[in-house]
């Protein structure tokens, strides 16, 4: 027969079915050194605090834009660029609606004038390139039509152009201020006309002023009203 197991003889105090409360050791102030009291404040080192992003200091910081003024001052434009009263009025209204300061509105003016300048430059370059292509096409067409007679006919055309005024020659040679770069003398039809007139002038030259002979004009030469005497 097995011996009975009694409490206290090599066994835990608590037996089966017997609950023993677990005691929590008391924590004293000396056991928890380094902890702070509820009323203790911890000082933050100076310089560790950061201002909210975008915030500016009161001293030395840049001032925020003031917004639209009551009325805008005069805007600056590049040399040679002007704006009409209507355009300025419309721009003032737009800038006011967008609440732009004078400085911000000026930046918008600078951007627009730069854009317009670039666009105008591109247009001028395109026109020059086009005229160069047209000139080449005209000259090549005339050379092809005249063939071996090109030099002789070109001399006749020059002779005819000398009859006209300075303005007429400027128009033929692309120097007219209203048609800059447009060399009308290069057009095959104009070149042929001038060459024909110049050839007729060789046969019936114009009388020089002061020679005593009656001076004839281009119309007389073209329409056969020049008095041409038959050779003896």
Asked, for residue 130, whether it belongs to a domain, the answer is: yes
Residue 163's CB is within 10 A of a number of other CB atoms, namely 16
Q: How far is CA 184 from CA 124, 131, 157, in A?
A: 19, 11, 12
Q: What is the pLDDT of residue 205?
A: 62
pLDDT tens-digit series, residues 154-185: 999 999 998 888 999 898 988 888 888 888 99
- Least confident stretch, 13-17, 124-128, 193-197: 13-17
Is 156 buried (19+), middle (13-18) or exposed (0-12) by CB count in 10 A? buried
How far is 214 from 159, CA to CA, in rounded Å? Answer: 20
Asked, for residue 159, whether it belongs to a domain, the answer is: yes
- Least confident stretch, 39-43, 201-205, 212-216: 212-216
Asked, for residue 217, whether it belongs to a domain, the answer is: no
0.75 exceeded by pTM: no
How far is 54 from 52, CA to CA, in rounded Å? Answer: 6
Asked, for residue 60, whether it belongs to a domain, the answer is: no
Q: What is the pLDDT of residue 63?
A: 60
Statement: residue 119 has pLDDT above 70: yes
Residue 160's CB is within 10 A of a number of other CB atoms, namely 21
Query: 157 or 36: which carries more pLDDT confidence?
Result: 157
Concatenating the DSSP letter of every residue in 101-143 gives: -HHHHHHHHHHHHHHHHHHHHHHHHHHHHHHHHHHHHHHHHHH
Residue 143's CB is within 10 A of a number of other CB atoms, namely 13
Q: What is the 3-state secondary structure (H, E, C) of 132-154?
A: HHHHHHHHHHHHHHHHHHHHHHH
Asked, for residue 113, whether it belongs to a domain, the answer is: yes
pLDDT tens-digit series, residues 84-109: 999 999 999 999 999 999 999 999 99
Q: How many domains does the chain have?
A: 1
How far is 198 from 216, CA to CA, in rounded Å? Answer: 14
Q: What is the pLDDT of residue 218?
A: 41
Asked, for residue 200, whether it belongs to a domain, the answer is: yes
Q: What is the pLDDT of residue 180?
A: 81
Statement: residue 145 has pLDDT above 50: yes
Helices (H) and strands (E) in the chain, counts: 6, 0
SS3 32: coil
Asked, for residue 95, whether it belongs to a domain, the answer is: yes
Confidence of residue 129 (pLDDT cuts 50, 70, 90): very high
CB-based contact 94:76 (threshold 8 Å): no
SS3 204: coil
Q: What is the pLDDT of residue 206?
A: 59
Residue 22 token pair: 């677990």
Q: What is the pLDDT of residue 144?
A: 94
Asked, for residue 112, whether it belongs to a domain, the answer is: yes
Confidence of residue 51 (pLDDT cuts 50, 70, 90): very low
The domain in which residue 133 lies consists of 85-209
């Amino acid at each position: 027969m097995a011996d009975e197991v009694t409490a206290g003889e090599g066994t835990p105090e608590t037996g089966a079915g017997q609950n023993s409360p677990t005691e929590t050791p008391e924590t004293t102030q000396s056991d928890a050194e380094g902890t702070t009291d509820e009323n203790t404040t911890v000082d933050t080192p100076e310089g560790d605090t950061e201002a909210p992003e975008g915030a500016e200091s009161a001293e030395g910081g840049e001032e925020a834009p003031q917004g639209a003024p009551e009325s805008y001052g005069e805007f600056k434009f590049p040399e040679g660029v002007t704006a009409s009263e209507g355009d300025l009025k419309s721009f003032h209204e737009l800038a006011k609606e967008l609440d732009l300061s004078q400085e911000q509105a000026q930046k918008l003016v600078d951007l627009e004038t730069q854009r317009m300048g670039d666009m105008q430059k591109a247009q001028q370059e395109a026109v020059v390139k086009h005229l160069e292509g047209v000139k080449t096409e005209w000259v090549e067409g005339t050379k092809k039509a005249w063939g071996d007679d090109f030099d002789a006919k070109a001399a006749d055309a020059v002779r005819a152009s000398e009859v006209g005024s300075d303005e007429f020659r400027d128009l033929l040679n692309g120097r007219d201020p209203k048609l800059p770069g447009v060399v009308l003398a290069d057009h095959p039809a104009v070149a042929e006309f001038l060459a024909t007139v110049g050839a007729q002038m060789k046969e019936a030259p114009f009388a020089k002023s002061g020679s005593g002979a009656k001076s004839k004009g281009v119309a007389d030469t073209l329409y056969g009203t020049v008095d041409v005497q038959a050779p003896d």
